[in-house]
Chain A
């Protein structure tokens, strides 16, 4: 099957997560993505192992983020190598980088210089907090971006400490926004023949993620308040939350509280059936639900609530999830082999095109593995 970005070439100067995540998505959609890496060490993510997990000399993390790409090594402090990279740029459609402000200018690879080589280039850059202001030199790191953005006051219960999202959420969302901007600029390039610079930052991206509540805050002046019990969203009333049951847990989404209480046998709740009061009384209602749900197993509750179309579900860990038919039918996993001793099972692209799942068998590149090929191909 032809993929939508076939024929597009991306040069990725980006490291770690945000920029390379955008590159991964473009690769899965059909683009040729070439990582430009410094000799020997390459993308610093190659050496950044979580849980000390490695494969064929690179961290599993690096394999996860950089599969389906090629690698070209160049020393950007060496003028000959910069000249070579500029030749590659002349053949590229997109470049991305996440160097700190000013570095690409010093290398002669800023947007204006690159545009002089390739006028229709789409030039993407990622920063932590934008290119000006008091935070411009602050490390563009996920937990720090979460912390200054207010995000840590959304999860966990009221009165408990601020609770970060336990994943690199600012990086992931920022990489997504980068891919969106690059693709919109490619659409413009196709329709109007012009290039563009696309800039995103971790902070603007993680604020955009909070745009609903932030709009409420900007106009009412009121800060979000987490519920004291079973918080799952600071703006939603009871019963919205996850509750312990006799054997595990159950997620109870929004719905008619009367249906929930009457069907499951929780008495004395009629005062709260009117939806207008279910936000202000959420802690009181949830306190009753906490005691109530403990009395039976998840299966018992689901057998009562599901036939009534009440929005609820069991709560799964990775083991239960990956054994479930609803997961297996997605065919979300793919196994990539790199040489004799390296085999990584990871996820596929979440987008389907014309009903087809986008799997790709190409593993993350060995550093510099495309040098020879690219030198030949582009007469470098």
Chain B
């Protein structure tokens, strides 16, 4: 199947997660991605990212983020390597970097430099905090972005203090926004600079609570128990049962009281109290729901169209038909040091024309495609 971005060439100077997650998406949508890696260190996330299972001595995280790309080992301070990079830029549609502000300019690869070589290039950049202002040179690291953006006041309970979201959300969202900007710019035939900062991305992510804050200037209140969203009333939250947890999203409290045979809930006839008294209501629910199993409660609530779900971990999910039917898992492979390497990962979440966008290529070994790429582009004029 021809993918929507087939024929698009992306030259990718990024490392870690934000930029590489963007180019992974472009790859899955059909683009060819050449990953330029520092001649000595390579992408630092090959080794020092997370405590994750190693695949051929490289982090499973690196493998997940960089599958399907080609690796070009290059010294950007070396004239010969820069000449090759310039050759590739002439044929590229998109150039992406997530260096700190100023680095690409010093390398002679600023937007103006690149546009002079290729007048229709899309030049995309991710920074931590934008290129100006007091934070411009602070490290664009996910936890720091969560900390300064107010995000750590949204999850958990008020008495928990700051609760970070336990994944690299600012990296991921900055990459996702960048993809949107790049694709929009590709609709025009002119050199375009697209910039996203992790800070602007993580603020956009909070556009609902921020907009409310702009109007009323009231600090976020999460509540004290079974919290799931600072702006939503009871029953919204997760509840412990005799054998696990269930999620309750929406439902009239009185109706819940009747269905669950929980008499104290019947007193909450005024819907405005479902927000103002959410901690009390949730406490009553929590004490009631812990007495029976998750299946017991779901068997009552689901047929009554109450919005609820079992709370699963990945193991439970993997075994569930609701997951299997998505066909989300794919096996990718590559030859590393003469040895075939296979591993499982997730596919692209977007479907085109009812088809799954699957891929069979694993992440490249460091510099794996350097020779071929040099041969291919030095023969181009």
Contacts and interface: CB of A to CB of B under 8 A. Distances in A.
B322 A318 contact: no
Contact of A350 (B52, B196, B312, B317): B196
Interface in A130-148: 130, 132-135, 138-139, 141-144, 146-148
Contact of A147 (B156, B177, B187, B310): B310
B135 interface: yes
A316 B147 contact: yes
A365 interface: no
A173 B173 CA distance: 8
Interface stretch (B84-92, B232-240, B253-261): B232-240
A220 B165 contact: no
B154 to A, nearest CB: 4
A166 B227 contact: yes
A294 to B, nearest CB: 12
A311 B228 contact: no
B231 A197 contact: no
B57 interface: no
Contacts of B226: 161
B245 A162 contact: yes
B143 interface: yes
Interface residues of A, number: 139
A187 B183 contact: yes
Nearest to A31: B184
Contact of B53 (A219, A242, A311, A344): A219
A198 B216 contact: no
A233 B230 CA distance: 21
A51 B220 CA distance: 11
A183 B180 contact: yes
A242 B50 contact: no
B105 interface: no
Interface string B203-237: 11111111111111111101000111111100011
Contact of B164 (A135, A181, A215, A242): A242
Contacts of A349: 204
A334 to B, nearest CB: 10
A355 interface: yes
B108 interface: no
B15 interface: no
Interface string A165-199: 11111001100110111011111101100001111
A67 to B, nearest CB: 10
Contact of B352 (A143, A183, A185): A185
A314 interface: yes
Contacts of B133: 325-326, 329-330
A241 B156 CA distance: 15
Contacts of B164: 155, 231-233, 241-242, 251
B335 interface: no
A350 B144 contact: no
Contacts of A228: none
Contact of B64 (A61, A215, A224): A215
Contacts of A30: 184
Interface residues of B, number: 142
Say what secondary structure dominates the interface of chain A: mixed
A352 B196 contact: yes
A226 to B, nearest CB: 7
B266 interface: no
A143 B247 contact: yes
B350 interface: yes
A253 B326 contact: no
Contacts of A152: 238, 245, 311
A201 B214 CA distance: 31
A249 B161 CA distance: 9
Among A142, A163, A275, the one with the most B-chain Cβ atoms within 10 Å of its Cβ is A163
Give the one of A197, A219, A309 with max B CB within 10 A: A219
B155 interface: yes
A326 B134 contact: yes
Contacts of B304: none
Contacts of B195: 351-352, 355
Contacts of B192: 4, 353-354
A137 B246 CA distance: 18
Given A317-B153, A321-B148, A350 B200 contact: yes
A163 B208 contact: no
A40 interface: no
A335 B141 CA distance: 30
Interface stretch (B3-11, B34-42, B68-76, B372-380): B3-11
A197 B353 contact: yes
Specify which of B195, B213, B214, B232 lies most central, judged by the most chain A CB atoms within 10 Å of its CB. Answer: B214
Interface in A75-134: 129-130, 132-134
Contacts of B346: 207-208, 211, 214-215, 218
Contacts of B314: 150, 153, 214, 217, 223-224
B350 A147 contact: no
B77 interface: no
A333 interface: yes
B199 A330 contact: yes
8 contacts: A133-B324, A151-B167, A200-B350, A200-B351, A213-B167, A215-B344, A234-B166, A318-B210
Closest 6 CB pairs of A and B: A133-B325, A154-B166, A183-B183, A251-B147, A166-B154, A215-B64
Interface of A: 2, 4-5, 8, 25-26, 29-30, 50-53, 60-61, 63-65, 129-130, 132-135, 138-139, 141-144, 146-156, 161-169, 172-173, 176-177, 179-181, 183-188, 190-191, 196-201, 203-205, 207-220, 222-224, 226, 231-237, 240-242, 244, 249, 251-254, 275, 279, 309, 311-319, 321-322, 324-326, 329-330, 332-333, 344-347, 349-355
